[in-house]
Structure 1
Amino acid sequence: MTTSLKRYFLLAFILVGLMPVNTNAQAPEPSSTFPPAYYTLNSDTARMLFLMNAISDSLNSGQLNLVYNMAKAGVSLAEKNNVDTMKGIFYFDVAKAFSYRFDKPDSAIFYYKKVLPYFPGKMNYYNLTSVREIMERFVQAGKKDSVFAYLDSLHERIDTMELTNPRRYGISSVMAGVYQYYGMFRTAIALFENSIDGLRKAGHPREVGLPMANLAELYDESEDDINAVRYAREALAYLAGNNMPFMGTSSNLATYYTNLNLIDSAIYFNKLSDSVARLINNPEQEHVRNQFNYINILCNGKKYSEAKKTLALVKPWVDKSGDQSDLVTYLMSYASIDTGLHRWAPAADTLRHALTIAKETGQEVYIVMVMQQLAAVNAQLKNFRDAYYYQQQYMEHKDSLTSEETKSRLADFEAMNKTRQKEQHITLLQKDNDIKNLQLKNSRQENVLYLGGFTFLLAATGIVFYQRNRRLKIQAQKTKAELQMQVFRSQMNPHFIFNSLNGIENFILQNDKRQASEYLNKFASLIRIILSNSRKEGVAFTDDMETLQLYIDLELLRFNNKFCYVKNIDPALMEFDYRVPPLLIQPFVENAIVHGFAYSKRKDLRLLVTARLDDDYIIYKIEDNGVGRTAAADYEAKIKSKHTSLGLQITSERINVFNEQHNAKSMLTVEDLYDLNGQPTGTCITVKVKII
């Protein structure tokens, strides 16, 4: 059976980040500096965006050293500007860093829980990932009851996901890894089967590497190392790259080959795992888990003296990590060396210590392995009563893990996998035959086509004249609609620019040079985007949301951070290049700020923008907790404002023309919000627009 740590395969994806911590979450201060480009930026928004991208690049390349200082600076900027969404994201990065950079599960859990209030939607990417990571860190901390509480929460969430959503199967694979860790093999196999089969049916075959690597571990723990090697090597092809799952799978392959006594292959894959660990700066893998593999290889070759020296180098790293599974593995390795040297009594003492720890942390697989060794060692000591007891316990626990039903499930999966491969091969052959039959049929029909061609041309001539007139009419209508849309966009841009210039003028009149300069820089960026998009019918959804963010940043400066901005974006919208009319919802956001917040004396003003995918449409919601439309109109009447906003009228007309142009059913609804006493509590605007 494998003794490599299983938590690497509890990862559906790898993200890392860090910030300063409090009493229970102390981390060492790295000495690394930021990339030089950071110091050339002039605004906090630009710095935060730069840090987010830089952290993402660091994670993608597996280089974790720079993440701490960048996330630390990001949190400070988010708190300074009171940007809640960014706070949540950087807290998320903090937790990731404690998980994978500093290996502190309790601190990681603390910060993951802080993320949840900023992203309350249960299907939100940050919420769902945080819950999954909290579960994994409880596994690492040995808190089984908490683990299963979060497992239940994840079960409820994946049951509501679409069958074609790859995240459903990524989460299933993670949950299967947890069940596997606690020896619940039948449940683990069912979830792995579901993940692999679901990903293939959903059109994501390249994402089966992680569940397949876990399945290899199940074969190993069922004492079938030949199939363990086969599935692990297939998984490597999907996981190819310098990343943690690839590193962990390579390490496990070294264990499987050692069990098969194929030492050259074991050494090769252990060195491969070492090289990736160095590239992605993962000292725990290089100095702990891969060293355990090397010790097993040395013991297999009866090189006990060298194995003992290597184990002595591992001990400080095991103490530093505090990982209980590492400690059990260390004790088992120590006992293996003593056993090889026929030092039976010390080996028995060490194994009893390992068994105590394994039972306390619920590591069922390790319990079985230790009991098997205790039975053999006590037999050598002629303690036959103890040997019999441990043998009986070993058989009972082993039967619960590798029962006939478990092996049957694995056999069923093996048969299903082979059947699917054969079906794919048969399908390809059938397609090849269909092509040949079609070619033969086409050859026979050529003569018939020549005879019918002349008749067809006669009929087609009349149709062409009809279609030509109809096409010209449609083209004229389309041209008219496009011209109308261009007129509306040309009205929109001056309206938008005029309001921004008013904000700059206010800072200049107040003699606030720093704010005026910052506002001008952001305004210049915004103008460039507006000019670029002014002639475009559609822009990428992600680009449009970034433009909206820039506008809101300007308004936050203008109103001295009087309100906070929260956005909740459907992750599905970020995965593809969906296109929407530019700045469609900006006037509603502006209306909420200028009319809803400007007259309010509340301290907790909040602007919430949500966007979700609904078939071929995107549904936006712009909700504020300002004074409401009626009160805003009263305030403006009192101050006798002569300003008439064209933004809402223009946007409404844009939607009407857009519907005509694209045969769409886009719509706009406005809802006044009230509390239980009938007092106004803000406005909610819903915009449904078809994706271009």
Structure 2
Amino acid sequence: MSLKKALFTLIFLLLNLTFEASAQDTIQPSAVKSKKAASYKISRAADDLKESLDANDEVEIAKNYEKLAEGFIERGDNAKAEEYLKKALATYTKLKRNRDQTRVTRSLAKVQESQKKISSAIQNYEAAGAASMEKSEEQVNRNDANRLRSANSPAAQMNYSNANIKLLEKEDKKAEVADAYVQQAEANLQQKNKEVAIESYEKAISYVKDKPEEVVKLKTEIAKVYASDNQFDKALGISEKLLAEAEKTNDFDTQIKQLQTLATIYFKKNEPEKAIQCLKQAYQLALRQGKTAEVKTSVLQLLQYYKANGKDKESIALYDDFFQNFDKLIRNDSSLIDEKTFQVTEEKIRQLEKEKALKDELIAKKNTFNYVLMGSLLLLLLLVGLIVKALYSIKTKNKEIALQSLRREMNPHFIFNSLNSVNQFISQNKELEANKYLTSYSHLMRNMMENSNKDFISLSSEIEQLKKYLDLEHLRFQDKFDYQIVVDDALDTETTFVPNMLIQPHLENAIWHGLRYRETKGLLLLKFELNRGKVSVIVDDNGIGLTESAALKTRNQKVHQSRGVTNTSERISLLNGLYKTQIDFSITEKNSGTTGTLVTITFPLLDKI
């Protein structure tokens, strides 16, 4: 038994090592002429692609990628087809060729579906539908996407296939109608409805009569359905007829496949002698024709049978025969030669792709250099005038920045009001309130002084300062307003930076010029939001509003508020110039059935300064 196991292990290992490079394992049965045509198509498309890459013709490059993919689809190598369809799609998308993009996207989805890449196929069917210019084309793609989503519901799959059949018949797309009928047949088989499945396969055949290889493929599927239903005579009749027709036309691929199919049917029919005879014929024919993949298939089936039935002599005889013909088989297998030849061609294509990418990069750099040169010449003409202006502007901004560092201190108006409040608490014998107020006031002043030399501080520090300030004002005017601070969950308060104390003057204005004049308690809402990469700070109060506030103000109050708004504008201008950022500021009065003022400050999301 150990010798037998060693022989089996060696044969399987050698077969796998030998045939790994062969693309024929994934190829469906087709006529000899069709395979030769596919190989010629691939070779011609590869040559054309090399020329178009060398000429850097984007449109032709995309067309030749698509032709290469079509050749691989005909040869049954869907993995390669997918690779080149993706390249074609990328180029068509870059060139904004919508119709070509739609067509290739659908082809890509079909290739991915054939490889069971269902998720990717659904996405591409949907993309093809979204890009379609025609309603019927859009619906066909959406139906296919929904059909794949309904993998657990054969009835739903049939409904989508039926809908597509009606649409595709109107467009006279016979090949796609045939595909839809095959999809119907597969759904019927899932429902164990074999008779209807056979009818669907026969309808598919009626649409591909001009493609003998497709007819053979579909009839083979019908034979498999009959065999699975134990209708062996019907299954054998179909396969024997296909075999006879293939012998007349010297279609060796179909002969081998049908002999293998007959073997499978005979095994199911419990006639192993006939099955072994068919496999031996398939093996010998594949050896003579240099069909490596088919030799592998036949040898494996024979070995499995011999092993299961303890026929060691037959296994060893097959082993000897295989190795005696091994070298001749490899020499005669034109597909291996074609594959090797294409690998060399593909390497050349990849090299040309790299050269094209390099050319594109050089052209882009050259264009950039030209633009920079033209811009430099224009700037040179303005340089003399700008130097004087820039020097003056730098000196002015340095003075403004120095002055601004002093203005970061707490507003003197607030200091005066705070001390006045303390005095008021003391005069009313409210020592506890006075002490509490002074403690909070000292903490706020200390924070202000610590941050006085910073233009930007973290959002958490700014909120802490503003909360302390609002607590002080609320202690003074607790019967006039309440306040809320709302921070967007998307904002990290520790890593997000905001302009230092740019918000405080507007909170002060909201309280002193709006909310404190209300007859009932108002609400001051401070919100920090993240919108499309920008931070929005909103100061929303339901005070008396700008118009009524202006009518009530003393002359000194008008000057103070005006200066506060002016200071904000000046600081924003300086910050925008110094940090190359974009801070926006607006004040509006509510006029939609409610009173109050809305202040909005917007600036980019900053995570470092």
For the aligned pair, the TM-score class normalised by the smaller chain equals 0.3 to 0.5
Q: Which has the higher contact order (CA 8 A, sep 6+)?
A: 1
TM-score, normalization by structure 1: 0.31
TM-score normalised by length of structure 2:
0.35
